[in-house]
């Protein structure tokens, strides 16, 4: 086994030369030390499996950029694009549909290894530099002690900065998503990032905003060609809150009736306060009146760039009104949602 230093002149070229010839290599990433090989060399892949003691488990490919994934022909639904833009280079592996199979891709955050991958004119396989069942190594010494005898070259660097494996998320061409491994990125964080969140805000979150939420979700489902239940899986989260809401209140009875007439069930709705945390997690925050907008600007100034009015004239509050008043309110909201849908969808393309 030869040893390379990450700061040695030409060391990335030497590493690529080893991989090009079918050799195996140990190299650092920001998460753990990796075992690298040429992915389109069957003998090299076979030897990786022998070293790891894995017969069938798939291996990820390291790529230098998102553009390389596009060039490979992988399907990149909106969810995958959002995650890639947020976390690459970094500790996220995306498993995507590509040419009739699924392929895991990752842009490493370690500059040396990313440079080597960029220099290579062939796909680079990567897996943790340990035998199956052993902990992934976070130092050069740990990696060499485990599999150093089985590789042609090992790249020395200090302890990995993050010291924990990448998070692995599979996203099908349809947008359906599965967490395959929770690593240093939590599932909650990944889910917040990959979905675009639209939040409607009124006063008590029992009339106008829950109706707007239900109708907008329905319009999204129609636009996406999916069921209401699948809107979330297709990359969208729609919610509502109130600037003066008490948590846990049901939607107003007349609001529920009017929504049922339109094919939506909001009986499970429970009100919540439009706190800075709730508002801050949304990509688009839609106020139902100017008063709501001003209240949000006062309590959530950091989110000012995401705030907008559904109607500059405001949507009158139907609270306490008749069923007909609620119907007119729903008509008013629905008449403005088409423009909102066009705007938020256009911003994703």
pTM (2 d.p.): 0.78
Using alpha carbons only, how large is the chain's radius of gyration in Å? 25
Q: Does domain 2-192 have CATH number 3.40.710.10?
A: no
| Residue closest to 236 by CA, chosen among 255, 213, 208 | 213
Q: Provide DSSP, 48-110.
A: HHHHHT-SS---EEE-SSHHHHHHTTB---HHHHHHHHHH-SSSEEEEEEETTEEEEEE--S-
Q: CA 231 to CA 229: how far, in whole Å?
A: 6
191 vs 187: CA distance, rounded Å? 6
Write out the DSSP string of 103-123: EEEE--S-HHHHHHHHH-SS-
Question: Max alpha carbon distance in the chain (Å)?
Answer: 82
The pLDDT of residue 85: 93
| pLDDT at residue 305 in the model | 87
Decide if 145 contacts 36 (C-beta within 8 A): no
Q: Within 10 Å of residue 255's Cβ, how many Cβ atoms?
A: 25
Phi, psi of 15 (to 5 degrees): -65, -45
What stretch of H or E contains 196? strand 196-202
d(CA 162, CA 128): 14
Q: Which of 223, 249, 246, 248 is nearest to 236 (CA)?
A: 223
Please list the rounded mean pLDDT of every run of 10 residues in the chain (349 residues).
82 95 97 97 96 87 96 92 94 96 97 96 96 94 96 96 96 90 94 92 98 98 93 90 97 98 98 95 95 94 90 96 98 97 83
- Answer whether 187's CB lies under 8 Å from 179's CB: yes
pLDDT at 349: 60
Q: Where are the alpha helices (DSSP H) in the chain?
A: 11-20, 42-52, 66-71, 78-87, 111-119, 140-147, 187-194, 208-224, 253-261, 276-280, 290-299, 323-346
Question: What is the CATH number assigned to the segment(s) 195-346?
Answer: 3.40.50.2300
Residue span(s) of the chain under CATH 3.90.870.10 come to 2-192
Question: What is the structure's pLDDT at 259?
Answer: 98
Q: Where in the chain is the domain with CATH 3.40.50.2300?
A: 195-346
**Cβ neighbourhood burial of 19 (10 Å; 0-12, 13-18, 19+):** buried
């Amino acid at each position: 086994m030869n040893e390379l230093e990450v700061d040695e002149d030409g060391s990335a070229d030497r590493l690529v030369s080893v991989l090009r010839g079918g050799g195996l290599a140990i190299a650092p990433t920001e998460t753990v030390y990796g075992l690298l090989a040429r992915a389109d060399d069957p003998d090299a892949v076979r030897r990786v499996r022998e070293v790891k003691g894995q017969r069938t488990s798939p291996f990820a490919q390291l790529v230098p950029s998102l553009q390389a994934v596009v060039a490979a022909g992988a399907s990149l639904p909106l969810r995958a694009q959002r995650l890639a833009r947020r976390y690459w280079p970094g500790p996220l592996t995306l498993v995507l549909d590509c040419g009739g199979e699924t392929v895991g891709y990752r842009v490493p955050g370690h500059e040396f290894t990313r440079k080597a991958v960029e220099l290579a004119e062939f796909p680079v396989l990567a897996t943790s530099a340990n035998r199956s069942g052993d902990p992934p190594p976070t130092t050069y010494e740990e990696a060499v002690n485990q599999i150093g005898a089985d590789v042609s070259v090992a790249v020395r660097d200090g302890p990995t900065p993050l010291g924990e494996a990448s998070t692995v998320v599979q996203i099908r061409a349809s947008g359906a998503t599965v967490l395959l491994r929770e690593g240093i990125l939590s599932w909650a964080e990944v889910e917040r990032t990959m979905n675009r969140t639209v939040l409607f805000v009124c006063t008590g979150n029992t009339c106008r905003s829950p109706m707007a939420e239900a109708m907008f979700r329905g319009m999204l489902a129609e636009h996406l060609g999916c069921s209401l239940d699948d809107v979330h899986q297709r990359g969208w989260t729609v919610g509502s809150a109130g600037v003066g809401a008490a948590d846990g209140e049901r939607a107003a009875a007349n609001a529920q009736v009017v929504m049922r007439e339109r094919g939506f069930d909001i009986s499970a709705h429970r009100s919540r306060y439009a706190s800075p945390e709730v508002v801050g997690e949304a990509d688009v925050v839609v106020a139902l009146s100017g008063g709501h907008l001003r209240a949000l600007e006062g309590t959530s100034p950091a989110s000012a760039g995401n705030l907008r009015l559904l109607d500059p004239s405001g949507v009158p509050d139907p609270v306490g009104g008749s069923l007909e008043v609620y119907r007119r309110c729903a008509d008013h909201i629905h008449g403005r949602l088409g423009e909102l849908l066009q705007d938020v969808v256009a911003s994703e393309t």
